[in-house]
Structure 1
């Protein structure tokens, strides 16, 4: 018989359990699947937002959004589309019931144990297909799964989850997780425009410096390098502002340091106000990069 057996809600960043369904099953293989689920809950941030793990007669499915993960154990023959519809219902109800601030500040395990009531009711509905078929629309979820199938966890990753020293592959067969950034603010737009302006000025001065070298051999070629490095640093800061990158803040600080060094070298070709302008724009851009933090993936209410 195909059915949902267990479900839980956890915090993604540390795997803290927030709520779970009551379960009295003592089947050994089911307990093993629940052990895998517990291990997965502590590593959700390492995987895409929709995954499936096959563990013999049972499957572990999970989704994550806004820093919260929703996991379930079901029989292997339970329809995939129903499994993710079930998790989608848990996700929508949890987001409506509890705000992000409460989930982020939770300290004790099962701080939202009262959500168990909704989990149990939803589990009963999804274990009764006759009463369920008229209450949900499977077409949207079927389309979503075809377009963006859940990532299938491999045996190697399962071994890593269980504590063995097996390298977890970094290349996903499904859709790789994308890290979004907070919406762009007006100061961010201004800083980006000013940074592009500084980069353009550096590029223009660099081209003129090359022309001077071609006409006069005693010109210093290091000035050309300094102008072009300043251009590269300004444009790279714009890239870091627009897209997420590992060590993003550190990279932006290094780019700012390069802007400062290049302007120090060019002090003979620029007056103090020009140097202060370039350094101030670089500092402003560095601040905006730091202020624009990664944003949790928003839930898709169309599935």
Structure 2
């Protein structure tokens, strides 16, 4: 059957998917062709603004303009003129609905997933050409395609001439920009208290250095003060930034804070020890609670 099977909107500069139709087609051939559409989405910046790729029983057509690309997958027999009219309609609606700044500032995949409603309605109309409005000037599009045919992309240009195999194609561009969940008041308080503890440790450490120079005191106390200060600062770093093994590192930093305070128990009052250990525990809890934001669902794209 001749039909549009899938459509998506992507950002040209990095292939970030902005919106897509949420079809749940389990056909293996369609699923495989969608993978090729994803490859194309990441290479739009290097391709002409109107292209086509033939892949088995399907055609992948796409256009790009103003930093946004529009990709669609359709049956091999679906008319080219209807395919590019469909893409043109998506383009007009998208640039009318969203501002350039919104598009440029998007950091998460499918930030404009609500546009799917328009994609679905338009797809239904174009899958039933008899219901198309007479406003669509198909003759003009047919003339334009005849005068400037879509560039035919080869698999070699995409770097997949030997097929995609079992390679799973997922969007990688968002990882370096992944964000932690928004700051909370307890989290901010814990970070400030950790900085306070680090400062107190530094002050005591420098005083201990002066005492060492005058009275030949124990060097290990100085090391304990500075290690405790470093552990507090590192906890602040873990609270603010994403890193591998983040939770485990926070527990190790808290363990170091506890060991340093145990060693310094003779130089600090019970209340001072309680304050430093409690702040370390509180900050560890806030690091554990402030996790990376969940990735947007894949919507079977």
- Matched residue, 2:293: 295
Map residues 69-148 of structure 1 onto 2, 5 A cutoff: 75-80=59-64, 81-83=69-71, 91-93=113-115, 120-123=120-123, 131=136
Partner SS for 1:244: coil
Aligned to 1:269: 267
Once the two structures are superposed, residues 152-199 of structure 1 have per-residue CA deviations (whole angstroms, 9 ceiling, x without a partner) of: 99659945626xxxxx9x9x7x66542211211111111111110000
Q: 1:239 aligns with which of 237, 240, 261?
A: 237
Between the aligned partners of 1:125 and 1:159, the Cα distance in structure 2 is 35
| Distance in structure 2 (CA, Å) of the matches to 1:182 and 1:176 | 15
Note closer, same or farther for the CA distance 1:272–1:90 as it changes in structure 2 (3 Å cut).
closer
Size of the aligned set, in residue pairs, is: 213
Determine the C-alpha separation between the residues in 2 that align with 1:157 and 1:282: 53
Label 1:22 to 1:35 Cα distance change in 2 as closer, same or farther (>3 A): closer
Deviates more, 1:268-277 or 1:118-127: 118-127
Residue 108 (structure 1) aligns with: none
Distance 1:153 1:197 in 2: 54
Deviation at 1:36, TM superposition (A): 6.0
Residue by residue over 1:95-134, the C-alpha shift from the partner in whole angstroms, topping out at 9 and shown as x without a partner, is: xxxxxxxxxxxxxxxxxxxx8xx7543335689998499x
Where in structure 2 are the equivalents of 1:1-12 lying within 5 Å?
A: 5-6=5-6
TM-score (norm 1): 0.54
Q: Which secondary structure state, in structure 1, belongs to the residue aligned with residue 6 of structure 2?
A: strand
1:161 lines up with 2:160 in the alignment: no
Flag the 1:21–1:276 CA change in 2: closer, same or farther, 3 A: closer
Give, in angstroms, the shift of residue 5 of structure 1.
Answer: 3.9
Contact 1:210 1:224 in 2 (8 A): yes
Instruction: Write the deviation string for residues 200-256 of structure 1: whole angstroms up to 9, x where unpaired.
Output: 001111111122222222x11111111111111101111111112222111111111
CA deviation after TM superposition for structure 1 residue 92, in Å: 1.4
Q: What 5-or-longer segments of structure 1 have no aligned partner?
A: 9-17, 25-30, 42-46, 60-72, 95-114, 134-151, 163-167
**Which residue is equivalent to 1:230?**
228
Q: 1:297 to 1:266 in 2, by over 3 A?
A: same
Whether 1:57 and 2:53 are equivalent positions in the alignment is yes
Q: Contact (CA 8 Å) 1:195, 1:282: kept in 2 or not?
A: yes
SS of 2:70's partner is helix
Deviation, 1:93, is 4.5
Root-mean-square deviation (CA, aligned residues, Å) is 4.8
> Which runs of no fewer than 5 residues in structure 2 stay unpaired?
9-20, 73-89, 95-109, 139-156
CA contact (8 A) 2:37 2:60 kept: no
> Which is greater in Rg?
2
